[in-house]
Structure 1
């Protein structure tokens, strides 16, 4: 299992291909606060709920100065379909090699329906403008996570 990040750690840089055919890089977002969330698979019920919650909260997150980036091991083509189907306007990044997932502690053993499996650990890491971890949450629930994150960040629910 990869090591989890903690508040104050330097967030590992990454450059990943995105659903829109471009790339997203943490270093290019330096100077801004970034919510990086890791999810198992596009277009599954839980991941769709979580992505749509981020979509619906994007204006308030942006208004508080946060960028959002979703990362999964899905190929770009699957992410492009997911983004189009759900009207997702924030970057969805493809980490098929799982290097970013591992660097952020979001890949490892987890329980799924009572069985231990290896896969994506649903996680969210908030990176401050200097590139340090401001918040790290692991094994989060798909439903209600964005609302809890907003409360944790002190962002109005409007």
Structure 2
């Protein structure tokens, strides 16, 4: 593929960080796309308990380039409110998000990354992995030795 087919960047993950990076790339006129295996804000939809609220007031829970203009600056956003904020942000900023696209392989060769998905292979000069740290449970090996002991829940499974 020639230089015209190589993106400046591929961003993996369409949460707070991934969309924020996409905004910065768009501001810099860099050709890029955001690949999200689920929906925008997927882990916020599926890996937060129902009564979850942010621990920062609404006035500080804004995306890059935005400012808070809501009715409750001292309130605390719910996880569903945050998903709505992310979806609205991606739409308003016209960010190049592709949902339902899982990255299955990432390779680098001669200064170009190959980002492989089941549908397509993307070529990019840069890759930003913004998938978060709670996507997969992580337990120390010693946890498996606790037979008949306490119930073990991962943050990603707690509802």
User: If the TM-score is normalised by the length of the shorter chain, which range does it land in?
Assistant: 0.3 to 0.5
Which structure has the bigger radius of gyration?
2
TM-score for the superposition, normalised by structure 2: 0.33
Q: Which has the higher strand share?
A: 1
TM-score for the superposition, normalised by structure 1: 0.33
